[in-house]
Amino acid sequence: MSPAEGKRTRDAQRTREAILEAAVEVFAEHGFAGARIDTIAKASGYNVSLLFQYFGDKLNLYTEVLRRAHEEATNVRARAFAPLLEQKDPFRDASQFRIFLETAIGGLFDHLVGHPRLMRILLWEMADGWQTYARISTQMPTDKIEKFEAIFQPARQAGWLRSGFSPTVQLMQALQTCLSYLASMPLYHAMLSEADASTVSNLAQAREYLVASVVAGIILDAPKSNGAR
């Protein structure tokens, strides 16, 4: 690659990232239906024609925003689970599977706390009945879902689970639980006149409660671990 080609590639990457960052902000503020391409273009510092050149249309841009968020969350979870899943027999008993669940659910909570714009986009999707996501769901990675389903299989065979319900749906329900709590913190404060729920200590307490509640609904009674913080 020549220096000129290298510069063009870097410029293209910077342009693409700027557009995606602007799109995240606008989609979080207005949802898919309310977001305007010209607003995204203005926020990115580039013109509308360049957005179409890079992403085709608003739906493709939205798809890329969610795909990038999905990959980032997946990579975070993969790093967290790697030491456990690299073991030959990672789930020797129910308590180790409990640790895995605590790590997974706690990671969902932490990721939402650290990505408030993604949380708002998901709330818009929920309010709209997930119609836009359903249109693009086939373009989202599925290999990690299959791996998650496979992880649950030995736990199901060992009789550790309360239900044979889809592990993916159970994980999504955990996501909804975390999402609902975090989105409702201003309501709790208004109704109960309690201290700011967004403080580090109160978030840690909420995390511990939510993780324990969700995990208790998935796994049968088993020795408690020290995994939940």
Tell me how far CA of residue 182 lies from CA of 123, 210, 213, 217, in angstroms.
11, 11, 15, 20
Each residue's pLDDT tens digit, 178-198: 999 999 998 888 887 766 778
Which residues have C-beta within 8 Å of that of residue 50, sequence separation ≥ 6?
Answer: 15, 19, 41
Q: What is the mean pLDDT of residues 201-217?
A: 94
1-56 classified as CATH 1.10.240.10: no
Q: What is the mean pLDDT of residues 158-166?
A: 91
Least confident of 74-78, 84-88, 122-126, 133-137: 84-88
Cα–Cα distance for residue pair 206/182, rounded to 1 Å: 9
Q: How confident is the model at residue 84 (pLDDT cuts 50, 70, 90)?
A: low
State the CATH class of domain 73-218: mainly alpha
> Residue ranges of the domains in the chain?
1-56, 73-218
Q: How high is the pLDDT of residue 228?
A: 45
Tokens of 19: 């557009």
Its pTM stands at: 0.84
- Answer whether residue 55 shows pLDDT above 90: yes
